[in-house]
Amino acid sequence: MAVKALTAILLFLACLSLNEAVFPNRNKFIEENPLKLQSTIDPAYLASKPRLPHNLNVFQYDIKIQPYFPNPTTTHDSSLDFTFDGTTTIYFQMLETTTSVQFDAYNLDIYAIALTSSNGIRQQLASANLDNSTNRITVAPVMFLQANQNYTVSFGYTGKINPYNYGGLFYSTYNYANGTKGNIYATFFELGDGAKSVYPCVDDPHFKAVFNLTVVAPKNMVTIANTMEDTITDIGCLLK
Ligand SMILES: *[C@@H]1O[C@H](CO)[C@@H](O)[C@H](O)[C@H]1NC(C)=O
Ligand SMILES: *[C@@H]1O[C@H](CO)[C@@H](O)[C@H](O)[C@H]1NC(C)=O
Ligand SMILES: *[C@@H]1O[C@H](CO)[C@@H](O)[C@H](O)[C@H]1NC(C)=O
Ligand SMILES: *[C@@H]1O[C@H](CO)[C@@H](O)[C@H](O)[C@H]1NC(C)=O
């Protein structure tokens, strides 16, 4: 699915079958569980809130998330529960010639980074550092990033599924009318560290982009986002 939007994407995975009312007690759930984001960003940095330099244009994000959580149909190692695997590719254009480019990332363990210019040539990296006090990753190729050139940067990473009051990708429960609880895994991106704890991005409302989101989910769950679904692919092992 692709959607022209801010970095605020809503994503819900719910343990429902399709013909049931979605979130029957949703309003009650929201009242009882007001979202309270907790930030661990350096308070001095938060007070000054510097934005990333506006020296690039971002066109598109290709985001693929595979969350792991207890589910009767999945067979992953339980040590993976409440984590997710992610890959994100960001399509962008540099607006000035520069030695490095920065992205926002929070609480992600990034294990792979690839920077490619629009002619398909992979750029050798001099360094790629995640600064935990500002939650920014600086990607510096050996060669300069050239003004007006298009690039893609791809990140492979793992992240965490948080308790609901941390936002980002979180887990919680909802009540059926008969009192039985269901599990939901959803995102809350509107404050603080939410979006950048699910995918590296330029987390600034100045930047509008197309979001192409792929979620790998158990077949017994419903996946809901705030735009039309594109395709569903059966990838076996009771996953879609
Ligand atoms: C969406 O992203 C996936 C990778 O996550 C990619 O394979 C696919 O081609 C992209 N689709 C579009 C329409 O850009
Ligand atoms: C930064 O945070 C990551 C993720 O929590 C952690 O793996 C890493 O050790 C931290 N690095 C430093 C220098 O504190
Ligand atoms: C960069 O990508 C944008 C969006 O796809 C496109 O409009 C533009 O022509 C590209 N620029 C170059 C120099 O390739
Ligand atoms: C409660 O309702 C849900 C949804 O209709 C159903 O799956 C579940 O079996 C019900 N539980 C009981 C104890 O009736």
Six-digit token string for 203: 């987390």
> Which residues, 6+ apart, have CB-to-CB distance to 70 below 8 Å?
78, 81
Which among 238, 240, 236, 214 has a CA at the least distance from the CA of 74? 238
> Which residues, 6+ apart, have CB-to-CB distance to 77 below 8 Å?
none
Assess whether the C-beta atom of 180 lies below 6 angstroms from ligand 4: yes
* Backbone phi and psi for residue 195, each to the nearest 5 degrees, phi listed first: -60, -45
Q: In whole angstroms, how far apart are CA 89 and each of 34, 62, 164, 201, 214?
A: 32, 5, 27, 9, 12
pLDDT in 10s for each residue of the chain, 240 residues:
333 333 333 344 443 333 233 334 444 444 444 444 445 556 666 666 667 888 999 999 999 999 999 888 888 898 999 999 999 999 999 999 999 999 999 999 999 999 999 999 999 999 998 888 888 999 999 999 999 999 999 999 999 999 877 789 999 888 889 988 888 999 998 766 789 999 999 988 889 999 999 999 998 898 998 888 888 888 876 776
Atom of ligand 1 nearest to the CA of 64: 5
CA distance 64 to 110: 14
> Which residues, 6+ apart, have CB-to-CB distance to 93 below 8 Å?
56, 57, 59, 148, 149, 150, 151
Atom of ligand 2 nearest to the CA of 130: 1
Select from 40, 132, 155 the residue to mutate for testing ligand 2; criterion: most ligand atoms less than 8 Å from CB: 132
Assess whether the C-beta atom of 155 lies below 6 angstroms from ligand 1: no
Domain ranges of the chain: 2-231
Atom of ligand 4 nearest to the CA of 179: 1
Q: Which ligand is nearest to the CA of 61?
A: 1
pLDDT for 42 = 62
**Widest Cα–Cα separation across the chain:** 62
Helical H runs in the chain? 26-32, 43-48
Q: What is the distance in A from the centroid of ligand 1 to the CA of 212?
A: 6
Q: Where are the beta strands (DSSP E) in the chain?
A: 2-5, 11-14, 56-68, 83-94, 101-104, 109-117, 122-123, 125-131, 136-141, 150-160, 162-163, 168-175, 181-188, 209-215, 222-225
Report pTM: 0.81
pLDDT for 227 = 85
Q: What is the distance in A from the centroid of ligand 3 to the CA of 61?
A: 15
Query: For domain 2-231, which architecture applies?
Result: Sandwich (2.60)
Burial 180-210 (b: 16+ CB within 10 A, else e): eebebbbbbbeebbbbbbbbbbbbeeebebe
Atom of ligand 1 nearest to the CA of 212: 1
Select from 178, 183, 222 the residue to mutate for testing ligand 4; criterion: most ligand atoms less than 8 Å from CB: 178
Alpha-carbon dihedral 121, 126, 132, 133, rounded to 10 degrees:
-120
Q: What is the distance in A from the centroid of ligand 3 to the CA of 150?
A: 6
Assess whether the C-beta atom of 132 lies below 6 angstroms from ligand 2: yes
pLDDT for 43 = 66
Select from 155, 213, 214 the residue to mutate for testing ligand 1; criterion: most ligand atoms less than 8 Å from CB: 214
pLDDT for 189 = 86
